[in-house]
Structure 1
Amino acid sequence: MNKSQLPRKVCPVCMRSFSWRKKWQRDWAQVKYCSKRCAGNKHQTKNEYIHDFAGKKKL
């Protein structure tokens, strides 16, 4: 299967699109977030998430 044909979802925290991964094959229906970071920030809105991300500096 071509990558463009894989199922896709939109992360409700960062609003980015993400596609199916083999490690999610058993529970794709339950996958909601694109990353552990977004799962940890699930109670924030998109604007709060972007503001927090932009305010932090990389070390």
Structure 2
Amino acid sequence: MAKMRKKGDLPRKNCLRCGLPFTWRKKWERDWDEVRYCSERCKRGGPAGGGAGGDQPGG
């Protein structure tokens, strides 16, 4: 059985889309090296360049 880790000791990455840091999750255990986005929403949005509503009308 694997040794338990404290939450503060988990690996971290920055999301390529929004730039926010996110930490390792159990569901990413097998493919952590390939994880690039913090959420499905960021993943669907594509690579960086989004941010605060750039081309949305009205505002």
Both proteins in one fold, TM over 0.5:
yes
| TM-score (normalizing by structure 1) | 0.76
Q: Which one has a bigger Cα radius of gyration?
A: 2
| TM-score (normalizing by structure 2) | 0.76
- Number of residues paired by the alignment? 51
The structure that is helix-richer by fraction is 1
- Of 11, 18, 23, 2:15 maps to 11
Q: 1:7 and 1:44, CA in 2 relative to 1: closer, same or farther beyond 3 A?
A: closer
Aligned residues: percent identity? 43
Instruction: List gaps (5 residues or longer) in structure 2.
Output: none
Instruction: List gaps (5 residues or longer) in structure 1.
Output: none
